[in-house]
A and B are shown apart, each in its own frame.
Chain A
Amino acid sequence: MLGIVAVIALLSVGALHDALFGELLAGSRQLHQRATALAGLGLQRGMERLEAATSIAPGEEEAFSLQPLADSTDSVVVSIRHLGIGTLPAAHSMGRLVAHHFQIESTGHVARGIRMTQVQGATRVMLAK
């Protein structure tokens, strides 16, 4: 009789552990998804900022951070880096127009120190000086 109780107790503890572990896993996955979404939002804001920028010189870097929800500690850190100028922009007149190449790096930070980074390359055709 005592043995049966011990086996049942053991099975119950195992099931409880599985449930707790599953909940932890689901929570972690949810946090990773939030971090991914935040990183994507950062890339979008980075593209908008790049479009609005009148000039970012080669080698320069512009960084900013976002806190999309005021009552949350979730945050996004975005940096826009000018990688260089191509004098032979594809599909455009060489000499009159140039291609500015950028890299936008966006990291979404969420609870438990979980973070996700996405890097987006972007090109902007501009007038040659």
Chain B
Amino acid sequence: MLAIHPNPRVRALRRLLFAALLPGISSSAVAAQAVADCLPAVSVPITVRIGDGAPVAALLEGGIETPLSLFAADSRRLLWSAGAHDSATQVFADMDAAFFGSLAAVDLDSDGLHDRIYAGDIAGRLWRFDLHHGAAAAHWTSGGIFADFGNPEGRGFLAAPDVSLSAPPGMPPWLNIAIGTAAPGNAAANNRFYALRDHAVHDSWTDEDYADWRAWREEDLLRVDATTQAAANAPTLVDVAGPGWYVELGSGHVVTPTLTVNNRAVLAISQALPREGPCEVFTRIASFDLAQQRIVVPPDGSDWRPPLPASVTLGAGFQVAAVEGEAIAHCTLADQRVAGCDVDMRPRRTWWRREDAE
């Protein structure tokens, strides 16, 4: 179901309100809201334990007036909120930009409770929150700006961050956070694909830790050339200790969450975002090798961002479905096959041991 409000007056009011909230970039903001009208409503399912109660199923949602809200999944009762204004449950002074669908909740220890949230706002900032199970709502999270990639052209995050674990043998693990930007209303914007490395996989940061944290900026990252030659010449040994890398995407916008399969992040890049009318866009598919820190070029050397034959509805996500009798699950975007994100579901051998013989 799309989030287009049936009442055009409400839609117009939302755009005006949005423009008023962000007067400095009002043109882009209005365009962003137009795009948001096309995007699917995003409610991220999350299991939380706030206060002394039992774990509950909840929905995390972004917003304009209150940037982040958490509702009980069954009753829609507000459990927690975050914003720059005093009426939010937790006040973050810098949280002055809206969040749309760029939300991801992570269960780091597979205990059923989510432990961390990554959220990107429309000002191009990626927020990180550690969740404190059992704490009162006013102290339920510690958080702050993890990376700040905002720019004058109004690049921001509309698509959800994609989180995947890297755990090479003999090395400390880290989380890859793959996320692309969009700049509605600015055709000249040079968008980005970011692959960040959060090395504090299991460390729950305190408010003081976040206060001390200096948000990563683009100059802290490695710029990776998006050319066939650069991919061929990329070093085989990658320094994984750094904060990450990025690729320039040009005028394409990322409004669909990346899907990572076997260290390959597959991205849908929308060519032109609609201001009005049907929410259809032409899309290119790009792949990035998170382990080797480079774009993935097809073996025949053809375009590394091949276009999908037919247009797709803006915000349509990658779908992966098992196929009867096949061990490979097929990946599609708007019913068009994207083989790069097929999932091999065959079992892999991991460890082995021999018991004492008798």
- Residues of A whose CB lies within 8 Å of any CB of B are 32, 35-36, 47, 50-51, 84-97, 101-102, 113-127
A-B contact pairs, 16 of them (CB 8 A): A35-B357, A84-B110, A88-B110, A90-B173, A91-B164, A92-B262, A95-B106, A96-B259, A116-B354, A116-B355, A118-B353, A118-B355, A122-B348, A123-B347, A124-B348, A127-B329
Interface of A is mostly: strand
Assess the A87–B110 pair: CB atoms within 8 A: yes
- Identify the closest chain B residue to A126 (Cβ): B345
Instruction: Name the one of A88, A97, A121, A127 contacting B107, with C-beta atoms under 8 angstroms.
Output: A88
C-alpha spacing A114/B358, complex, angstroms: 6
Assess the A96–B110 pair: CB atoms within 8 A: no
Assess the B261–A92 pair: CB atoms within 8 A: yes
Give the Cβ gap from A29 to chain B, nearest Cβ, in Å.
11
Assess the B355–A119 pair: CB atoms within 8 A: yes
C-alpha spacing A88/B175, complex, angstroms: 10
Interface residue B147 (Cβ < 8 Å from any Cβ of A) = no
Assess the B347–A47 pair: CB atoms within 8 A: yes
Instruction: Name the one of B106, B355, B357 contacting A114, with C-beta atoms under 8 angstroms.
Output: B357
Interface residue B61 (Cβ < 8 Å from any Cβ of A) = no
A114-B357, A123-B348 known; A92 and B320 CB under 8 Å?
no
Assess the A118–B352 pair: CB atoms within 8 A: yes
| Chain A residues within 8 Å of B297, by CB | none
| Chain B residues within 8 Å of A115, by CB | 357-358
C-alpha spacing A90/B348, complex, angstroms: 12
| Chain A residues within 8 Å of B344, by CB | 125
Give the Cβ gap from A85 to chain B, nearest Cβ, in Å.
7
Assess the A94–B164 pair: CB atoms within 8 A: yes
- Identify the closest chain B residue to A35 (Cβ): B357
Instruction: Please list the 5 inter-chain residue pairs (A to B) with the smallest Cβ-Cβ separation, ordered nearest first.
Output: A117-B355, A121-B351, A121-B350, A91-B263, A124-B347
| Chain A residues within 8 Å of B107, by CB | 87-88, 94
Assess the B110–A50 pair: CB atoms within 8 A: no
Interface of B is mostly: strand
| Chain B residues within 8 Å of A124, by CB | 345-348
| Chain A residues within 8 Å of B19, by CB | none
Give the Cβ gap from A74 to chain B, nearest Cβ, in Å.
15
Give the Cβ gap from A31 to chain B, nearest Cβ, in Å.
10
Assess the B357–A90 pair: CB atoms within 8 A: no
Assess the A91–B260 pair: CB atoms within 8 A: yes
Interface residue B162 (Cβ < 8 Å from any Cβ of A) = yes
Give the Cβ gap from B105 to chain A, nearest Cβ, in Å.
8
C-alpha spacing A6/B10, complex, angstroms: 116
Assess the B347–A102 pair: CB atoms within 8 A: yes
C-alpha spacing A92/B331, complex, angstroms: 14
Assess the B261–A127 pair: CB atoms within 8 A: no
A88-B107, A92-B262, A93-B260 known; A120 and B345 CB under 8 Å?
no
Interface residue B241 (Cβ < 8 Å from any Cβ of A) = no
C-alpha spacing A36/B355, complex, angstroms: 11
Interface residue B54 (Cβ < 8 Å from any Cβ of A) = no
Assess the B350–A123 pair: CB atoms within 8 A: yes
Assess the A121–B106 pair: CB atoms within 8 A: no
Interface residue B349 (Cβ < 8 Å from any Cβ of A) = yes
Interface residue B230 (Cβ < 8 Å from any Cβ of A) = no
C-alpha spacing A84/B173, complex, angstroms: 20
Assess the A119–B164 pair: CB atoms within 8 A: no
